[in-house]
Amino acid sequence: MTAAIEVEGLNKSFGGRRVVKDFSIRVEPGRITGFLGPNGSGKTTTLRMLCGLLTPDSGHGTALGFDIIADSWEIKRRTGYMTQRFSLYEDLTVEENLQFSARIRSLDRMTERVADALEQLGLAERRRQLSGTLSGGWKQRLALAVATLHEPELLLLDEPTAGVDPQARRTFWDEIHALAARGLTVLVSTHYMDEAERCHDIAYIAYGALLARGTAEEVIAAANVVTWRGEGRGIDRLAGELLKDPAVEMAAPFGLALHVSGSDPEALERALAPYRRPPLRWTRVEPTLEDVFIHLMRSVEDNYQ
């Protein structure tokens, strides 16, 4: 199968700061690939290089069969891009924003495309509503409609559901999966672990470097992280005390329970030994993506200068 994206050794610096370091990735067509990582880790820069919106300082590769440097304009023409911040015209109606986008792209079948977009994303009843008066979830639907109006082959989403309520997030992701089922390749950056698990595969980037790649299950398995769940009165207050032990990489309250993780099973057992007494109860559980990402972050340093 020909890859939708295949790049090697991408690098990018701004003002002497190396934002992306020797980045390589392969993405199959029709996949939803999640990009995760802390703020300032190079996610947005990486996504933009993959689709021709930024030129790498070095490295090479293809997107949609086109060279990411020599054919960047052709890639951009076939790409939909949705920024984190709502960037459409708030003093235009929903329908007017779609019509404007269709005109500046000189799209054929403009009336049909706009009508289809309104219907598919449930915007038809709000077609005459000013975009600036929409709630966050509806604004994201409109932004997605505009980003896909020209029927792109690649969709780039930069933290698309930041600040959106859970119900609107779920609806938005249902739309993303419907688009991928029709063959669209999607790259999406997110901070939400539940959204990462809805991706077909993920890439974890920290300060410009790729730390993990694969499905959520593969990333968790490869990390070799051990997690214990503690329950009992007052256990949620032990996090600070446990973190003093170098074997404890993470100790985080989850409601009235406590998740404690580390990469050395024996050392972690020793760290927990003093707390194995009633009313405290400990159960070994499968680590979460959050456990794994905190573990991975211990191996890298912030590249901010």
* Residues 274-297, mean pLDDT to the nearest whole number: 90
* Residues 87-104, mean pLDDT to the nearest whole number: 93
List the domains of the chain with CATH numbers: 5-219 (3.40.50.300), 226-286 (3.30.70)
pLDDT classification of 305: cutoffs 50, 70, 90: very low
Lowest mean pLDDT among 18-22, 163-167, 174-178, 259-263: 163-167
pLDDT classification of 291: cutoffs 50, 70, 90: confident
Q: Does the pLDDT of residue 1 top 70, yes or no? A: no
Q: Does the pLDDT of residue 273 top 80, yes or no? A: yes
* Residues 35-61, mean pLDDT to the nearest whole number: 89
**Cα–Cα distance for residue pair 248/228, rounded to 1 Å:** 11
Q: Check residue 162 and give its pLDDT.
A: 78
* Residues 281-301, mean pLDDT to the nearest whole number: 85
Q: Does the pLDDT of residue 134 top 80, yes or no? A: yes
pTM of the model: 0.88
Digit-coded pLDDT (tens) for 152-186: 999 999 988 877 788 888 888 999 999 999 999 99
> pLDDT averaged over the chain?
91
Digit-coded pLDDT (tens) for 192-243: 888 899 999 999 998 888 999 999 999 999 999 999 999 999 898 899 999 9
* 123, 104 contact by CB (below 8 A): no
